[in-house]
Amino acid sequence: MAGHDLPVELLEDSDNRRVEVHRRPLGVVGAIIPWNFPVLLIAFKLPFALLAGNTLVVKPAPTTPLSTLRLGELMAGIFPAGVVNIVTDQNDLGGRLTAHPGIAKISFTGSTETGRKVMASAAASIKRLTLELGGNDAAIVLPDADPAKVAPGIFGSAFLNAGQVCVAIKRVYAHADIYDALCAELARLAEEAVVDDGLKQGAQIGPLQNKAQYEKVRALIEEARTNGTIIAGGEIPGRPGYFIRPTIVRDIEDGTRLVDEEQFGPVLPVIRYDDPEDALARANSSDMGLGGSIWSTDREAAHDLATRMEAGTVWINKHLDFGPTMPFGGAKQSGLGVEFAQEGLHEFMRVHVINEAKV
C-alpha cells in the first residue's frame, strides 16, 4: 500500500488554459474497527490515511482492544506524537467519534445496522465516509462443476475464521445435477475439520469471538433443524468457550433466516436450483452485495453470470482473493466507497482543482 503514488493529474494544457487536479489531506480520520480482525483491518485503513497526509484516531471494538493497544505501543516509537491515536471504550464512544466536529472522515468496518447509525451521526458535519458493511455472499455452482474439486474452495471460503468474515461465502446455490454430490463433499470436509483452541497444533477452526454472536448462531442452527436438514455439525462441543462445529444445512430455501440473513458463523446453507438464471435472481434478491462467486468449468457462462451478479467483487472459481492493488467495496447496503488501490487512497483525500488561464 505504501507504494501508491499521488501524482498531480493534468486534465488539460491547451492554448487557453491549464487544468490540474491535486489531492489534499482531509485532516483527522476516525477509524472504527470490528472484533473479527482487530489488527488486519487497521492495516486496511492506517497506511492510506497516513500516506494521504492525515492523522488518525483508531477505536477498536470493546471486545478486542488488547491487540490494538499493543500495536499502538509498537507505533509509539515510530510516528510523531498525535499522528496515530488509539482510544478504547466500553461501546460508548462510537457516537461521540462519528459526531465530533473535529473529525473530517470516518472509515468504518462493521455491520450494516451499525453503518446506518454511523452515516446518520456523521451527517451533521457532512463527514466523508467509507463504510465496509455486512455481506451475504452467494456462491453459484453450475452443473458442469466437479463437486470434489470445488468443495474445498467453497468450504475454505465459508469457514475461514469460523465464518466470521464479512466477505465469506454465506450461502451456496448448487444445481440439481450436482446438488447431492456437493452436499456430501461439504459434509465430509465439515466432519473432518479440527475444531480447537488456536494455540494447539493442528487446530483449523476456533471459537466464535463473543457470547452474543455465539447465541445468534446457535439459534440459527436450531431453526435450521425445522427449515432444512443438517448433514454435518449442528452439535455444540461440551467444552468451555464459544465453539461450534462447522455445520452444513441442505434442503433449505430462500425465505428462511439462515439464507436471507448474514449468519457470521460456522453454518452454511446449500440451496438447490434448476435454472442458473433463477439462481442469479435469488442471489441478487438480497439487500446486501459485498461479494459473490461463480464456480464452473465453462469460463464464458461463468463470466456472463459474474457480470450480472450485484456485488462489489465477483470471483470465478475462487473467493476471498483481494489485495492492496484491487478496489474493494460493496454494492447496495454492503457499503459506501472503497478500500485499497488508487481509488481507496483517494477516499482519504479531497480534490483540489487548479484552473489557470493562459494569458
Q: How confident is the model at residue 335 (pLDDT cuts 50, 70, 90)?
A: very high
**Per the domain annotation, does 14 fall within a domain?**
yes
Is-catalytic flag, 222? no
pLDDT of residue 3: 86
- Residue whose cell numbers read 465453539: 243
Q: Which domain holds residue 350?
A: 9-133+334-357
Same domain, 248 and 275: yes
Same domain, 206 and 309: yes
Give the contacts of 125 (CB within 8 A, at least 6 positions apart). 99, 101
Same domain, 91 and 209: no
**Per the domain annotation, does 329 fall within a domain?**
no
**Helices 147-159 + 179-192 axis angle, to 10:** 50
**Per the domain annotation, does 324 fall within a domain?**
no
Beta-strand relationship, 128-132 and 137-141:
unpaired
Same domain, 113 and 182: no
Same domain, 24 and 122: yes
Same domain, 173 and 311: yes
Same domain, 60 and 81: yes
**Per the domain annotation, does 71 fall within a domain?**
yes
Catalytic-role residue among 20, 132, 223, 235: 132
Whichever domain contains 155, its CATH number is: 3.40.309.10
Reported pTM = 0.95
Whichever domain contains 60, its CATH number is: 3.40.605.10
**Per the domain annotation, does 325 fall within a domain?**
no
- Judging by beta carbons within 10 Å of its beta carbon (0-12, 13-18, 19+), is residue 322 exposed, middle or buried? middle
- Residue whose cell numbers read 463470466: 303
Query: pLDDT above 70 covers what percent of the chain?
Result: 100
pLDDT digits (tens, 9 = 90+) for 276-294: 999 999 999 999 999 999 9
Same domain, 248 and 216: yes
Q: How confident is the model at residue 4 (pLDDT cuts 50, 70, 90)?
A: confident
pLDDT digits (tens, 9 = 90+) for 310-322: 999 999 999 999 9
**Per the domain annotation, does 323 fall within a domain?**
no
Same domain, 146 and 121: no
pLDDT digits (tens, 9 = 90+) for 192-204: 999 999 999 999 9
Same domain, 148 and 117: no
pLDDT digits (tens, 9 = 90+) for 231-275: 999 988 889 999 999 999 999 999 999 999 999 999 999 999 999
In 3D space, the residue among 247, 251, 231 whose CA is nearest the CA of residue 174 turns out to be 251
Same domain, 263 and 146: yes
**Per the domain annotation, does 328 fall within a domain?**
no
- The sign of the CA dihedral 298, 146, 319, 219 is positive
Print the SS3 string covering the chain.
Answer: CCCCCCCCEEEEECCCEEEEEEEEECCEEEEECCCCCCCHHHHHHHHHHHHCCCEEEEECCCCCCHHHHHHHHHHHCCCCCCCEEECCCCCCCHHHHHHCCCCCEEEEECCHHHHHHHHHHHHHHCCEEEEECCCCEEEEECCCCCHHHHHHHHHHHHHHHHHCCCCCEEEEEEECCCHHHHHHHHHHHHHHCCECCCCCCCCCECCCCCHHHHHHHHHHHHHHHHHCEEEECCCCCCCCCCCCCCEEEECCCCCCHHHHCCCCCCEEEEEEECCHHHHHHHHHCCCEECEEEEECCCHHHHHHHHHHCCCCEEEECCCCCCCCCCCECCEECCEECCECHHHHHHCCEEEEEEEEECC
Catalytic-role residue among 113, 166, 183, 356: 166
pLDDT of residue 311: 98
In 3D space, the residue among 265, 288, 261, 266 whose CA is nearest the CA of residue 116 turns out to be 288
Same domain, 151 and 295: yes
Count: domains in the chain: 2
pLDDT of residue 129: 98
φ, ψ for residue 98, nearest 5 deg: -70, -25
Beta-strand relationship, 267-273 and 105-109:
unpaired
Q: Contact, 3 vs 342, CB < 8 A?
A: no
pLDDT of residue 235: 87
**Per the domain annotation, does 45 fall within a domain?**
yes
Is-catalytic flag, 132? yes
Give the contacts of 217 (CB within 8 A, at least 6 positions apart). 208, 244, 263, 264, 265, 266, 267
pLDDT of residue 236: 87
Distance between CA 136 and CA 82 in Å, rounded? Answer: 38
Phi-psi region of 162 (alpha: psi -120 to 50; beta: other; left: phi over 0): left
Q: Contact, 42 vs 58, CB < 8 A?
A: yes
